[in-house]
A and B are shown apart, each in its own frame.
Chain A
């Protein structure tokens, strides 16, 4: 098989894994405050992703690393071109990751409230910006003959891209609400299930408009109608299943919908990796942005050995923590008091 094409597909798979997995993490983060009435509720919500969020985020690192290794030109042009959105995403992921670990370390309402804002902002910002970034990729950006992206930041905030941002945000919100309803029991399960049913409707509408716009305006392929239809079907299924409170099915379908959106995005890009909107001759393509066959061969062997292993132990993690959480399982605060009252002075 053509190795650059294989790696284009693998990178699509890595983004697919990332957005399906961290998609619900982001949703959980965005919904933590609105879904919770008490601090125990918030901790319950956070603990649904507690054991897995960090591993989920590695999908992003591997997607980035694989792009660097397999398509250096793509990596260089995209990461320097989308400079400010990526900066914001990085800052968001930093405060969010630290917040999960640190919010419970000090037993104080103000302390927790600050970290809760970090989780909230840190989940909203990437949810919106990943959509904005991918929509711009689909739409095409201005690239000069030296493969430098010359679109400015505000050019990236066009209506189509903003609709893309709304789409990913709604997809992740619904996905996250379903995940919480799947992983909790009692009142939280009920609340999250109700919210998922409500959110699923605007999600179908916004995602549907975005997909139709993208397919008709920017896709050169007829076959990309297939993922559009799969996503649409899956999202309609999500509406029905969340209404019926079939959480397992709803989750499977919302994951399928996100997966179909990723397939659609990469499908419309093909055979480019970064289409140039100003001059198609400047587009970065699978062929002109890729690494050498030697490098890709090495990477293919490594991926062939490591990927099944990673999938196995990540899958096992989800199995270990498959039980629903209840508020009763959330222990009392173990954090230290805000003021240091212990005798910590040197002996």
Chain B
């Protein structure tokens, strides 16, 4: 009798361990596919941005934007269109939720001497050049909210590239207003803003 119960318990235990708990299992296949480029702790690597601590809704919107090809810059096209093509909505939700909970590290790769000017522009904008204050939407410390992304601590290279790409006519997953805003930024403004943000914790 006890032998039968023990073997039944063993079967149940075996089956349960085979179901991946996606949201908190770093070793699951789906998560590994992402961290291959975005870094094992999702802090970003080379051209792939940091996903750790990014807004859940924003990550989800980008994954959907890759699926619909709304987000169309060259790196998106080359890497992310394929990566997101077969993601189910449930898996996309789970991945977005998982990455949003990881602790972030600031990239610190901007120009230190431009950070102060970048901070002023980020927090207050410049009405004389009709530059809006990024903080109105992205928050006082670049934390973002809802579908508006966290910018604090993202890589200077990545931020600069995104702002330039929008100026060149590539599209965002959520339009407007970012491509419109980025089109109006001067190269100097992009330099200082991207530098400042890369240092924000």
Do the two shown chains form a genuine complex with each other? no
Q: Which residues of A contact B (CB under 8 A)?
A: none
